[in-house]
Amino acid sequence: MELKNKTAVITGAGKGIGRAIAQALAKEGVHLGLIARTASDLEALQQSLSQEYGVKVTSAIADISDRTQAEAAVAAIEMELGAVDILINNAGIASFGTLLDMDPEEWERILHVNVMGTYYVTRAVLPSMIKESSGSIINIASTAGERGFATGSAYCASKFALLGMTESLMQEVRKSNIRVTALTPSTVNTELATNAGLKIGDEDRMMQAEDVAELALATLKLSDRVFVKAAGIWTTNPQ
């Protein structure tokens, strides 16, 4: 599918995987609406992408786990850029600990951002895609959504939920020509991985955010007759 002059909303666009996807899409000529909580990250990215690639870039500061903020962010982006063709639900947080050791507020926070936040943003974007009978939604899940592990109860619960939401929505909207995809990366070299203590061994040999962006781009570029339902991306260098 030709991506030039399409419009995409990317959540969590200020850092890591979201930022790399924003760069990859801007390079293809896609106009962008960027969402995150840290204004300085988005301002810097907005300026560099519009200067380098000549695309329209707007940003909205929002905590997606707050439904009012998520809806206001999408409305502001649509006001600026028009109907959204592509939604990248990427914003997410992670922390790990046994079910009993983890602070219940932290456990809840992970579910609120990773699941409810994705739901709120999708719910805000979807009506215009349905109206246009066209669209692509990519949810950044994780291998943690495919198997549980000790200390992962909150993060795994959130990513299992995200995969369930993705597949159900896919079945609801595929006849409206809307493609819904989940990507399930294993560990990626980002701040999230550093802060969660997930980085082991040589950073340069780890999967990079740009690798996930390349997979996202490849799925979007497929003929609009088809879509990737779910795709994993793993490092060739397990340590």
Ligand X SMILES: NC(=O)c1ccc[n+]([C@@H]2O[C@H](COP(=O)([O-])OP(=O)(O)OC[C@H]3O[C@@H](n4cnc5c(N)ncnc54)[C@H](OP(=O)(O)O)[C@@H]3O)[C@@H](O)[C@H]2O)c1
Report the nearest approach of ligand X to the CB of residue 222 (Å). Answer: 21
Report the nearest approach of ligand X to the CB of residue 152 (Å). Answer: 12
Q: Per-residue b/e over 62-101, b at no fewer than 16 CB within 10 Å?
A: bbbbbeebbbebbebbbeebeebbbbbbbbbbbbbeeeee
Which residue, among 216, 212, 196, 230, has the nearest Cα to 28 in the 3D structure? 216
Residue 53 annotated as catalytic = no
Indicate which single residue of 3, 6, 18, 119 sits in contact with ligand X (rule: CB under 6 A): 18
User: Is 65 a residue that touches ligand X (CB under 6 A)?
Assistant: yes
Nearer to ligand X, 170 or 209 (CB): 209
User: Can you say whether the dihedral through the CA atoms of 150, 153, 159, 161 is positive or negative?
Assistant: positive
Q: At what angle do helices 118-132 and 153-173 cross, to 10 degrees?
A: 10
Residue 180 near residue 169 (C-beta atoms within 8 A): yes
Report the nearest approach of ligand X to the CB of residue 224 (Å). Answer: 25
Indicate which single residue of 3, 16, 119, 138 sits in contact with ligand X (rule: CB under 6 A): 16
3-state secondary structure at position 15: coil
Nearer to ligand X, 117 or 135 (CB): 117
Beta bridge partners of 89: 139
Indicate which single residue of 10, 126, 193, 216 sits in contact with ligand X (rule: CB under 6 A): 193
User: Is 109 a residue that touches ligand X (CB under 6 A)?
Assistant: no
| Alpha-carbon gap, residue 17 to 233, rounded angstroms | 13
User: Is 15 a residue that touches ligand X (CB under 6 A)?
Assistant: yes
Nearer to ligand X, 83 or 196 (CB): 196
Interacting residues with ligand X (CB under 6 A):
11-12, 14-18, 35-38, 41, 62-65, 90-94, 113, 117, 140, 142, 185, 187-188, 190-193, 198, 209
- Active-site annotation, residues: 155
